[in-house]
Chains A and B, each alone.
Chain A
Amino acid sequence: MSWVQVAVSQSSEDIFDEDADEMYLLKKEWNNTMKKRLKEGYRDGIEAGKELALQTGFNQGYRHGAELMITCGQFKGTLNALLSWCHFNGHDSALSTINNLLDVVGKYEDDVLKYLNSTEEQPHLGHILDSVQDMDLNHTAGTEYKEVKDGKHEDCGSSSENICRNNGEVGSLQSECRKANLCTDPEKSTLAWVKRQTVWLVEQLGLSLDILYHVQQLEH
Protein backbone atom coordinates (compact mmCIF):
# COMPACT_ATOMS: atom_id res chain seq x y z
CA MET A 1 0.00 0.00 0.00
CA SER A 2 1.45 3.26 -1.14
CA TRP A 3 0.36 5.13 1.95
CA VAL A 4 2.70 2.97 4.02
CA GLN A 5 5.71 4.38 2.27
CA VAL A 6 4.38 7.87 2.77
CA ALA A 7 3.78 7.21 6.44
CA VAL A 8 7.24 5.77 6.85
CA SER A 9 8.90 8.63 5.07
CA GLN A 10 6.87 11.13 7.07
CA SER A 11 8.90 10.63 10.21
CA SER A 12 11.99 12.27 8.76
CA GLU A 13 10.53 14.68 6.25
CA ASP A 14 8.14 17.59 6.28
CA ILE A 15 4.96 17.30 4.38
CA PHE A 16 5.11 19.51 1.33
CA ASP A 17 2.06 21.06 -0.21
CA GLU A 18 2.15 18.65 -3.14
CA ASP A 19 1.79 15.83 -0.68
CA ALA A 20 -1.18 17.40 1.05
CA ASP A 21 -3.57 16.22 -1.67
CA GLU A 22 -2.08 12.76 -1.53
CA MET A 23 -2.48 12.69 2.25
CA TYR A 24 -6.11 13.69 1.88
CA LEU A 25 -6.72 10.89 -0.60
CA LEU A 26 -4.92 8.39 1.55
CA LYS A 27 -6.90 9.41 4.59
CA LYS A 28 -10.07 9.03 2.55
CA GLU A 29 -8.97 5.57 1.46
CA TRP A 30 -8.26 4.65 5.06
CA ASN A 31 -11.68 5.83 6.17
CA ASN A 32 -13.42 3.96 3.39
CA THR A 33 -11.57 0.78 4.20
CA MET A 34 -12.44 1.02 7.87
CA LYS A 35 -16.07 1.83 7.03
CA LYS A 36 -16.18 -1.29 4.90
CA ARG A 37 -14.83 -3.40 7.75
CA LEU A 38 -17.44 -1.86 10.03
CA LYS A 39 -20.27 -2.71 7.63
CA GLU A 40 -18.99 -6.22 7.08
CA GLY A 41 -18.73 -6.71 10.81
CA TYR A 42 -22.25 -5.40 11.23
CA ARG A 43 -23.61 -7.82 8.62
CA ASP A 44 -21.72 -10.74 10.12
CA GLY A 45 -22.96 -9.78 13.55
CA ILE A 46 -26.58 -9.58 12.47
CA GLU A 47 -26.40 -13.02 10.90
CA ALA A 48 -24.78 -14.57 13.94
CA GLY A 49 -27.10 -12.88 16.39
CA LYS A 50 -30.20 -13.80 14.46
CA GLU A 51 -29.23 -17.43 14.07
CA LEU A 52 -28.68 -17.83 17.77
CA ALA A 53 -31.83 -16.00 18.79
CA LEU A 54 -34.24 -17.64 16.33
CA GLN A 55 -34.16 -20.98 18.07
CA THR A 56 -34.42 -19.48 21.55
CA GLY A 57 -37.27 -17.26 20.44
CA PHE A 58 -39.03 -20.16 18.76
CA ASN A 59 -38.91 -22.26 21.91
CA GLN A 60 -40.27 -19.41 24.01
CA GLY A 61 -43.01 -18.58 21.56
CA TYR A 62 -44.03 -22.20 21.13
CA ARG A 63 -44.59 -22.62 24.84
CA HIS A 64 -46.58 -19.40 24.98
CA GLY A 65 -48.77 -20.31 22.00
CA ALA A 66 -49.44 -23.85 23.20
CA GLU A 67 -50.46 -22.67 26.65
CA LEU A 68 -52.76 -20.03 25.19
CA MET A 69 -54.60 -22.50 23.00
CA ILE A 70 -54.82 -25.66 25.06
CA THR A 71 -57.95 -24.52 26.91
CA CYS A 72 -59.58 -23.27 23.75
CA GLY A 73 -58.95 -26.63 22.17
CA GLN A 74 -60.58 -28.38 25.10
CA PHE A 75 -63.71 -26.29 24.69
CA LYS A 76 -63.78 -27.22 21.02
CA GLY A 77 -63.37 -30.91 21.75
CA THR A 78 -65.98 -30.88 24.49
CA LEU A 79 -68.51 -29.10 22.30
CA ASN A 80 -67.84 -31.44 19.41
CA ALA A 81 -68.41 -34.43 21.65
CA LEU A 82 -71.69 -32.93 22.88
CA LEU A 83 -72.68 -32.22 19.30
CA SER A 84 -72.25 -35.81 18.23
CA TRP A 85 -73.98 -37.07 21.36
CA CYS A 86 -76.97 -34.80 20.75
CA HIS A 87 -77.14 -35.95 17.17
CA PHE A 88 -77.16 -39.61 18.19
CA ASN A 89 -79.79 -39.05 20.87
CA GLY A 90 -82.16 -36.89 18.89
CA HIS A 91 -81.58 -33.64 20.77
CA ASP A 92 -81.75 -31.68 17.54
CA SER A 93 -82.83 -28.48 19.25
CA ALA A 94 -79.47 -28.25 20.96
CA LEU A 95 -77.49 -28.63 17.75
CA SER A 96 -77.71 -25.01 16.66
CA THR A 97 -76.77 -23.77 20.13
CA ILE A 98 -73.69 -25.97 20.12
CA ASN A 99 -72.74 -24.91 16.62
CA ASN A 100 -73.04 -21.28 17.65
CA LEU A 101 -70.76 -21.90 20.61
CA LEU A 102 -68.29 -23.64 18.32
CA ASP A 103 -68.35 -20.61 16.06
CA VAL A 104 -67.57 -18.35 18.99
CA VAL A 105 -64.66 -20.52 20.04
CA GLY A 106 -63.44 -20.73 16.46
CA LYS A 107 -63.57 -16.96 16.07
CA TYR A 108 -61.76 -16.56 19.37
CA GLU A 109 -59.03 -18.91 18.20
CA ASP A 110 -58.65 -16.92 14.98
CA ASP A 111 -58.25 -13.77 17.03
CA VAL A 112 -55.62 -15.38 19.23
CA LEU A 113 -53.71 -16.50 16.16
CA LYS A 114 -53.90 -13.02 14.70
CA TYR A 115 -52.56 -11.63 17.94
CA LEU A 116 -49.71 -14.14 18.02
CA ASN A 117 -48.87 -13.35 14.42
CA SER A 118 -48.69 -9.63 14.99
CA THR A 119 -46.59 -7.50 17.24
CA GLU A 120 -48.00 -7.66 20.75
CA GLU A 121 -51.48 -6.48 19.80
CA GLN A 122 -54.37 -7.64 21.94
CA PRO A 123 -57.40 -9.05 20.12
CA HIS A 124 -59.92 -6.33 19.52
CA LEU A 125 -62.65 -6.67 22.13
CA GLY A 126 -65.17 -4.98 19.91
CA HIS A 127 -64.83 -7.60 17.18
CA ILE A 128 -65.35 -10.51 19.52
CA LEU A 129 -68.44 -8.94 21.03
CA ASP A 130 -69.85 -7.98 17.66
CA SER A 131 -69.60 -11.52 16.39
CA VAL A 132 -71.24 -12.89 19.52
CA GLN A 133 -74.08 -10.38 19.32
CA ASP A 134 -74.57 -11.08 15.65
CA MET A 135 -75.36 -14.68 16.37
CA ASP A 136 -78.97 -15.62 16.70
CA LEU A 137 -78.62 -17.42 20.00
CA ASN A 138 -81.71 -18.82 21.75
CA HIS A 139 -83.53 -16.71 24.31
CA THR A 140 -82.04 -18.13 27.48
CA ALA A 141 -78.54 -17.91 26.14
CA GLY A 142 -79.24 -14.36 25.11
CA THR A 143 -80.46 -13.46 28.57
CA GLU A 144 -77.44 -15.02 30.19
CA TYR A 145 -75.22 -13.03 27.91
CA LYS A 146 -77.01 -9.82 28.75
CA GLU A 147 -76.59 -10.58 32.46
CA VAL A 148 -72.92 -11.08 31.89
CA LYS A 149 -72.71 -7.78 30.09
CA ASP A 150 -74.45 -5.83 32.83
CA GLY A 151 -73.17 -7.77 35.81
CA LYS A 152 -69.52 -7.79 34.93
CA HIS A 153 -69.31 -4.04 34.63
CA GLU A 154 -69.10 -3.48 38.40
CA ASP A 155 -66.60 -6.28 38.97
CA CYS A 156 -64.26 -5.09 36.35
CA GLY A 157 -64.41 -1.41 36.96
CA SER A 158 -61.51 -1.35 39.37
CA SER A 159 -59.44 -4.21 38.04
CA SER A 160 -59.83 -3.08 34.45
CA GLU A 161 -57.40 -0.23 34.87
CA ASN A 162 -54.65 -2.48 36.14
CA ILE A 163 -55.19 -4.97 33.37
CA CYS A 164 -55.29 -2.18 30.81
CA ARG A 165 -52.03 -0.79 32.04
CA ASN A 166 -50.35 -4.17 31.81
CA ASN A 167 -51.48 -4.47 28.23
CA GLY A 168 -49.68 -1.28 27.42
CA GLU A 169 -52.50 0.01 25.25
CA VAL A 170 -54.25 1.95 27.92
CA GLY A 171 -56.26 4.38 25.90
CA SER A 172 -57.84 2.13 23.32
CA LEU A 173 -58.53 -0.82 25.60
CA GLN A 174 -60.11 1.29 28.30
CA SER A 175 -62.49 2.90 25.84
CA GLU A 176 -63.34 -0.50 24.37
CA CYS A 177 -63.94 -1.77 27.88
CA ARG A 178 -66.41 0.97 28.65
CA LYS A 179 -68.11 0.45 25.33
CA ALA A 180 -68.34 -3.29 25.93
CA ASN A 181 -69.24 -3.20 29.61
CA LEU A 182 -67.27 -6.38 29.94
CA CYS A 183 -64.10 -7.46 31.61
CA THR A 184 -61.05 -5.99 29.91
CA ASP A 185 -59.20 -9.23 29.43
CA PRO A 186 -60.74 -10.73 26.30
CA GLU A 187 -59.72 -14.23 27.34
CA LYS A 188 -61.67 -13.95 30.53
CA SER A 189 -64.81 -12.71 28.85
CA THR A 190 -65.14 -14.91 25.77
CA LEU A 191 -64.12 -18.28 27.17
CA ALA A 192 -65.83 -17.60 30.47
CA TRP A 193 -69.03 -16.92 28.59
CA VAL A 194 -68.59 -20.10 26.51
CA LYS A 195 -67.99 -22.04 29.71
CA ARG A 196 -71.19 -20.72 31.29
CA GLN A 197 -73.18 -21.53 28.15
CA THR A 198 -71.72 -25.02 28.02
CA VAL A 199 -72.53 -25.68 31.67
CA TRP A 200 -76.08 -24.46 31.14
CA LEU A 201 -76.39 -26.67 28.07
CA VAL A 202 -75.14 -29.76 29.90
CA GLU A 203 -77.68 -29.07 32.66
CA GLN A 204 -80.46 -28.65 30.11
CA LEU A 205 -79.56 -31.95 28.48
CA GLY A 206 -79.74 -33.65 31.88
CA LEU A 207 -76.25 -35.00 31.50
CA SER A 208 -73.90 -36.37 34.11
CA LEU A 209 -72.34 -34.00 36.60
CA ASP A 210 -68.95 -35.46 35.70
CA ILE A 211 -69.04 -33.59 32.41
CA LEU A 212 -69.85 -30.41 34.27
CA TYR A 213 -66.89 -31.05 36.49
CA HIS A 214 -64.38 -31.31 33.69
CA VAL A 215 -65.84 -28.25 31.99
CA GLN A 216 -65.70 -26.26 35.22
CA GLN A 217 -62.06 -27.24 35.57
CA LEU A 218 -61.18 -25.58 32.29
CA GLU A 219 -59.16 -22.54 33.12
CA HIS A 220 -60.00 -19.38 31.35
Chain B
Amino acid sequence: MADLFDGIVMAEQRFHGEGYQEGFAEGSHAGMAEGRRYGALHGARIGSEIGCYLGFALTWHCLLQKHTDEKNSKKMRALDSLIGMIQKFPYEDPTYDKLQEDLEKIRGKFKQVCSMLNIQSDFRIGTERSSLTF
Protein backbone atom coordinates (compact mmCIF):
# COMPACT_ATOMS: atom_id res chain seq x y z
CA MET B 1 0.00 0.00 0.00
CA ALA B 2 2.77 2.39 0.96
CA ASP B 3 4.47 1.68 -2.37
CA LEU B 4 1.35 2.65 -4.24
CA PHE B 5 1.14 5.98 -2.47
CA ASP B 6 4.81 6.55 -3.10
CA GLY B 7 4.14 5.81 -6.73
CA ILE B 8 1.37 8.38 -6.84
CA VAL B 9 3.44 11.04 -5.13
CA MET B 10 6.38 10.35 -7.38
CA ALA B 11 4.22 10.57 -10.45
CA GLU B 12 2.76 13.89 -9.31
CA GLN B 13 6.19 15.23 -8.55
CA ARG B 14 7.42 14.08 -11.92
CA PHE B 15 4.67 15.90 -13.78
CA HIS B 16 5.08 18.97 -11.64
CA GLY B 17 8.80 18.87 -12.30
CA GLU B 18 8.40 18.58 -16.05
CA GLY B 19 6.01 21.50 -16.10
CA TYR B 20 8.33 23.46 -13.87
CA GLN B 21 11.31 22.98 -16.15
CA GLU B 22 9.39 24.09 -19.20
CA GLY B 23 7.92 27.06 -17.34
CA PHE B 24 11.28 28.03 -15.91
CA ALA B 25 12.83 28.20 -19.35
CA GLU B 26 9.99 30.33 -20.67
CA GLY B 27 9.96 32.54 -17.62
CA SER B 28 13.69 33.10 -17.85
CA HIS B 29 13.39 34.10 -21.46
CA ALA B 30 10.52 36.51 -20.81
CA GLY B 31 12.17 37.87 -17.67
CA MET B 32 15.43 38.59 -19.44
CA ALA B 33 13.68 40.46 -22.22
CA GLU B 34 11.56 42.48 -19.83
CA GLY B 35 14.47 43.14 -17.48
CA ARG B 36 16.67 44.25 -20.35
CA ARG B 37 14.04 46.66 -21.57
CA TYR B 38 13.56 48.32 -18.17
CA GLY B 39 17.27 48.33 -17.51
CA ALA B 40 18.05 49.89 -20.86
CA LEU B 41 15.62 52.75 -20.31
CA HIS B 42 16.98 53.45 -16.84
CA GLY B 43 20.58 53.23 -17.97
CA ALA B 44 19.87 55.45 -20.95
CA ARG B 45 18.45 58.19 -18.74
CA ILE B 46 21.42 58.10 -16.41
CA GLY B 47 23.89 58.00 -19.31
CA SER B 48 22.21 60.97 -20.93
CA GLU B 49 22.14 63.00 -17.73
CA ILE B 50 25.72 62.28 -16.70
CA GLY B 51 26.97 62.78 -20.24
CA CYS B 52 25.23 66.14 -20.35
CA TYR B 53 26.89 67.32 -17.15
CA LEU B 54 30.25 66.12 -18.41
CA GLY B 55 30.03 67.77 -21.81
CA PHE B 56 28.81 70.96 -20.23
CA ALA B 57 31.57 71.05 -17.64
CA LEU B 58 34.37 70.16 -20.06
CA THR B 59 33.26 72.84 -22.50
CA TRP B 60 33.01 75.55 -19.88
CA HIS B 61 36.36 74.48 -18.50
CA CYS B 62 37.89 75.11 -21.92
CA LEU B 63 35.99 78.37 -22.39
CA LEU B 64 37.26 79.80 -19.10
CA GLN B 65 40.81 78.60 -19.59
CA LYS B 66 41.96 81.83 -21.20
CA HIS B 67 40.63 84.18 -18.51
CA THR B 68 42.48 83.45 -15.33
CA ASP B 69 41.27 85.97 -12.76
CA GLU B 70 40.21 85.30 -9.16
CA LYS B 71 36.51 84.98 -9.94
CA ASN B 72 37.24 82.57 -12.72
CA SER B 73 39.63 80.46 -10.68
CA LYS B 74 36.80 79.73 -8.24
CA LYS B 75 34.64 78.69 -11.17
CA MET B 76 37.48 76.57 -12.55
CA ARG B 77 37.87 74.79 -9.22
CA ALA B 78 34.18 74.00 -9.11
CA LEU B 79 34.28 72.75 -12.70
CA ASP B 80 37.33 70.60 -11.95
CA SER B 81 35.53 69.15 -8.97
CA LEU B 82 32.45 68.34 -11.02
CA ILE B 83 34.50 66.80 -13.83
CA GLY B 84 36.43 64.71 -11.31
CA MET B 85 33.25 63.43 -9.66
CA ILE B 86 31.76 62.45 -13.00
CA GLN B 87 34.87 60.72 -14.24
CA LYS B 88 35.03 58.64 -11.08
CA PHE B 89 31.36 57.69 -11.29
CA PRO B 90 30.67 54.24 -12.77
CA TYR B 91 27.69 55.42 -14.76
CA GLU B 92 27.22 52.11 -16.54
CA ASP B 93 27.15 49.91 -13.42
CA PRO B 94 23.69 49.42 -11.94
CA THR B 95 25.06 47.37 -9.06
CA TYR B 96 27.24 50.20 -7.76
CA ASP B 97 26.30 50.48 -4.12
CA LYS B 98 26.67 54.26 -3.90
CA LEU B 99 24.88 54.96 -7.18
CA GLN B 100 22.06 57.13 -5.83
CA GLU B 101 24.30 58.89 -3.32
CA ASP B 102 26.97 59.84 -5.87
CA LEU B 103 24.36 60.82 -8.43
CA GLU B 104 22.81 63.27 -5.95
CA LYS B 105 26.25 64.72 -5.17
CA ILE B 106 26.92 65.22 -8.89
CA ARG B 107 23.53 66.87 -9.39
CA GLY B 108 24.21 69.19 -6.47
CA LYS B 109 27.63 70.11 -7.78
CA PHE B 110 26.21 70.80 -11.21
CA LYS B 111 23.62 73.18 -9.74
CA GLN B 112 26.38 74.96 -7.84
CA VAL B 113 28.47 75.31 -11.01
CA CYS B 114 25.49 76.67 -12.94
CA SER B 115 24.75 79.28 -10.32
CA MET B 116 28.40 80.35 -10.35
CA LEU B 117 28.19 80.72 -14.12
CA ASN B 118 24.84 82.54 -13.91
CA ILE B 119 23.09 79.84 -15.87
CA GLN B 120 19.79 78.27 -14.98
CA SER B 121 20.46 74.64 -14.21
CA ASP B 122 17.07 73.40 -15.22
CA PHE B 123 17.74 73.30 -18.92
CA ARG B 124 15.97 70.18 -19.96
CA ILE B 125 18.52 67.48 -19.39
CA GLY B 126 15.86 64.89 -19.84
CA THR B 127 14.95 63.44 -23.12
CA GLU B 128 13.08 66.37 -24.53
CA ARG B 129 14.46 68.96 -26.86
CA SER B 130 16.82 70.93 -24.70
CA SER B 131 17.79 74.54 -24.87
CA LEU B 132 18.89 76.79 -22.11
CA THR B 133 16.52 79.22 -20.56
CA PHE B 134 17.68 82.46 -19.00
Contact = CB atoms under 8 A, between A and B. Distances in A.
Contacts of A58: 35-36, 38-39, 42, 94
Nearest to A64: B40
Contacts, number: 281
14 contacts: A1-B8, A38-B19, A42-B22, A45-B22, A48-B23, A56-B32, A65-B47, A68-B44, A73-B51, A77-B59, A84-B117, A210-B62, A211-B63, A214-B62
A83 to B, nearest CB: 5
B128 interface: yes
- The main secondary structure of chain A at its interface with chain B is helix
Q: Which of A69, A71, A105, A112 is the most central at the interface, judged by chain B CB atoms within 10 Å of its CB?
A: A69
Contacts of B62: 207-208, 210-211, 214
Q: How large is the interface on A (under 10, 10 to 19, 20 to 34, 35 or more residues)?
A: 35 or more
- The main secondary structure of chain B at its interface with chain A is helix
B36 A61 contact: yes
Given A69-B44, A71-B51, A110-B127, A39 B24 contact: no
Interface of B: 1, 4, 8, 11-13, 15-60, 62-63, 65-66, 91-95, 117-119, 123, 125, 127-132, 134
Nearest to B31: A53
Contacts of A185: none
Contacts of B21: 41, 45
